[in-house]
Chains A and B, each alone.
Chain A
Amino acid sequence: MAENNTHLKPSKPPIWNDPKYRSLFFQALLMFGLGLFIYTIVQNTLTNMEARGISTGFAFMSEKSGFDILQSLIPFNSDSTYGRTFIVGILNTLLVSALGIFFATILGFLIGVARLSNNWLLSKIATVYIETFRNIPLLIQIFFWYIVVLRAMPSARNSHSLFDSFFLNVRGLYLPAPVTESGFIYTVITFIIALIAVFILKNWAKKRQEATGQPFPVLLTSLGLLILAPLLVFLVTGSPLTWDVPVLKGFNFKGGISVIPELFALLLALTIYTAAFIAEIVRSGIKAVSHGQTEAALSLGLTPSQTLRFVVIPQAMRVIIPPMTSQYLNLLKNSSLATAIGYPDLVSVFMGTTLNQTGQAVEIIMMTMTVYLTFSLLISAFMNWYNAKMALTER
């Protein structure tokens, strides 16, 4: 009896009650529903666009734009195409985001560390900073810097100036621009050589420490090498670098680097807002390293600075980096608020002006979203890679 049964498969429920078929059926239904939904939308859109006389396709990308852009990193004028507008917008978005990420990281780290300081006053000031700026909408902060602070700057004639070469007025920020002369290339070459030398030095110092136990002050020597060697060459070759200092001509400054007030205000707001979040991340990252770790390191005889370098910072960074990258992504997305004050970022020049002029909403909005999605996916990919790498070296 039992022997016969071993060849039988376990009996199955009727097909409509089998969980496997149920789930297959449900998924098929879902796919069908979704397909129908998308089909309806596409059909509706096509009829609507035809009814309104909106053209479709990407032909508009090679049409002449007919407008000027306040700031562009590549040559642009009203004869340029919408395609070029798209590029200018992306570059401007990347410019303000990169600068914002740079400054927000520095400021955020400083404030996060200040918040943990054993100086009561400093830690309270850092707390007030964090609680103030992260609880006020970014848009309000952008308006504040743009309209209340920068608009209240004096006219060009009465600019605030620093060393007579940096000027801040209602038209923006003016900085001296470096102008290189023929011999400057030697300084650049020296700098590159110094960079390579630092690299070699680092390896050598590591090897020597391993071999003899003697540490070498790599950081100090590298800094010295990187600064002094190029400086020496620079002086020997007769200082082949001049500064193009902005000068007041008529109603405005000419020469130098000018930062338009829109960029300046947006950068200020993004930096200050994001730094508040980064500060919290840094603080909790450092606090996540248990006190026992510090005590263990100290009781082995490591100095406080060695404890920081070998024990606290490496562990804190693992906690800090993932949320930090998502703050960077937030900053990039938040830079789209540029459109509220007219900084020519992607949303402002493409989804704003170009959309208004061509009316091709579907293509333009999709393209804009694709740009942001691409950056998001890149950053997520980095994060996954980083987490996988950390998981490997932990367990």
Chain B
Amino acid sequence: MYITDKILPELPAPSSSKGVLHWLKTNLFSSPVNILITFLGLFLIYKIVPPAIQWAFIDATWVADTREECLGEGKGACWAYISNRFGQVMYGFYPPEEYWRPNLAGILLILLTSLLFIKQMPKKVWIGAFILLVFPFIAYFLIHGGSFGLSEVGTDKWGGLMLTLIISLVGIAAALPLGIILALGRRSTMPVVKSICVIFIEFWRGVPLITVLFMASVMLPLFLPEGSDFDKLARAMIGIILFQAAYVAEVVRGGLQAIPKGQYEASVAMGLSYWKSMNLIILPQALKLVIPGLVNTFIALFKDTTLVLIIGLFDLLAIIENVLGSDSSWLGFFTEGLVFAAFVFWIFCFSMSRYSMALERKLDTGHKH
């Protein structure tokens, strides 16, 4: 028999099991193999990081009027190569005096979407619908012009980061409703509807985007009645939207599958019609579940927009590779161009993937409670 009512004090852990030294020992030097790995890793970092910093920052030329100023002993990256033609990098051949138009559209979009992130915002659905259904037309009138006293700027003048963003945003916005319909269709009990949707989805998911872009730019004109020709960007957009819709459909289908069967039965028991129960009960739940997945397909689409350079559109990468790269007075800074493009894409994709991961975690805990 043993009894005590004395609660012993909490003692600090012995020094051998905490502190910096303990951390170093367990995380870097726990065994001979680990010691070796740690030193190899340090060597690798030493070989890559300091030279990269030296090139990109310390020895870099930030301002220069001519190519020659960037050349010479001990000169690193020539960022003047980008900054001197920053306008083109951002907007392509868009007339500089009209830059305010895409800027305004961009700011509008940012303001509208930031409304969605305010917690207590009422009527979020309507704001979302406005962004998806009305805003594109406003943006088109602003950027394309040709009415309301704005001069017309044809899509052949659009380019740079602006074009990259337009293609990916329009792509996802249009693919979303189409993808939802396809996902519902794939789960339909009507055999004809189901097989059409399955074939459609599997077709686009089975072919590379390049072949889709070729199809859009070469074959699409043949499909249309004679004389009805529309521009290259619109054709590419059609291809991208159909392609993207198939991927969106698969993500949405995953969300629909995750909704417990009871929810479907309950909505039928309430006497709701198919479309009412989908719109009011099933889709809101499913779409919330699939936001991380949708962000991930958007990231993939965003990276894939670079392929439009192959069919002759001037997105960010194409401007850097084909326009800046072929300027004879600035030859030889291809590396800087690519590094800059890589950096821009990386910032976008990395932050979006972090966002999607955070959402996923939030949804995960939300579901357990």
Contact = CB atoms under 8 A, between A and B. Distances in A.
Contact of A147 (B190, B317, B334): B334
B168 to A, nearest CB: 11
B28 A44 contact: no
Contacts of A376: 202, 205-207
Interface residues of B, number: 55
Contacts of A372: 206-208, 211
| Listed residue (A140, A362, A377) with the most chain B CB atoms within 10 angstroms of its CB | A140
Interface in B160-217: 189-193, 196, 202-203, 205-211, 214-215
A365 B306 contact: no
Interface string A30-43: 11001000000100
Contacts of A23: 189-190
Contact of B338 (A119, A135, A147): A147
B353 A148 contact: no
Contacts of B321: 143
Contacts of B207: 333, 369, 372-373, 376
Contacts of A340: 309-310
Given A144-B338, A373-B203, A365 B218 contact: yes
Contacts of A122: 37-38, 41
A45 B223 contact: yes
B350 A131 contact: yes
A81 interface: no
B222 A45 contact: yes
B218 A361 contact: yes
A119 B28 contact: yes
Nearest to A120: B27
A289 interface: no
Interface in A101-143: 117-122, 125, 131-132, 134-141, 143
Interface stretch (A3-11, A47-55, A233-241): A47-55
Given A119-B38, A148-B338, A125 B219 contact: no
B345 A339 contact: no
Given A48-B226, A119-B28, A137-B306, A30 B350 contact: no
B137 interface: no
Contacts of A125: 41, 44-45
Given A48-B226, A119-B28, A339 B310 contact: yes
Contact of B206 (A132, A137, A334, A377): A377
A136 B316 CA distance: 13
Contacts of B226: 44, 47-48, 51
B345 A135 contact: yes
Contacts of A137: 303-304, 306, 317, 342, 345
B322 to A, nearest CB: 11
A294 B88 CA distance: 57
A132 B310 contact: no
A361 B219 contact: yes
A30 B192 contact: yes
A354 B40 CA distance: 49
Contacts of B222: 44-45, 48-49, 361-362
B346 A135 contact: yes
Contacts of B262: none
A199 interface: no
Contacts of B42: 121
B225 interface: yes
B221 interface: yes
A49 B219 CA distance: 10
A355 B214 CA distance: 10
Contact of B346 (A27, A136, A337, A339): A136
A380 B198 CA distance: 13
A27 B191 contact: yes
Contacts of B309: 139, 340
B28 A121 contact: yes
Contact of A119 (B27, B225, B346): B27
Contact of A347 (B26, B45, B196, B211): B211
A204 interface: no
A139 B341 CA distance: 11
Residue from A41, A135, A340 with most neighbouring chain B CB atoms (10 Å): A135
Interface string B35-76: 001100110110000000000000000000000000000000
B218 A355 contact: yes
Contacts of A117: 37
B151 interface: no
A175 to B, nearest CB: 25
B363 interface: no
Interface in A349-380: 351, 355, 361-362, 365, 368-369, 372-373, 376-377, 380
B307 interface: yes
B345 A140 contact: yes
B334 A148 contact: yes
B167 to A, nearest CB: 13
Contacts of B221: 48
B113 interface: no
Given A27-B190, A27-B191, A339-B310, A369 B211 contact: yes
A222 interface: no
Given A147-B334, A148-B335, 13 more contacts: A31-B192, A118-B30, A125-B44, A136-B342, A136-B346, A139-B309, A140-B306, A147-B338, A333-B209, A339-B310, A365-B215, A376-B205, A376-B206
Interface of B: 26-28, 30, 34, 37-38, 41-42, 44-45, 189-193, 196, 202-203, 205-211, 214-215, 218-219, 221-226, 299, 303-304, 306-307, 309-310, 317, 321, 334-335, 338, 341-342, 345-346, 349-350, 353
18 contacts: A27-B192, A34-B196, A44-B224, A45-B222, A47-B226, A48-B221, A121-B37, A122-B41, A134-B349, A140-B317, A140-B338, A140-B341, A143-B338, A347-B210, A369-B207, A372-B208, A373-B207, A376-B205
A-B pairs with lowest CB-CB distance, top 4: A376-B206, A135-B349, A120-B27, A27-B192
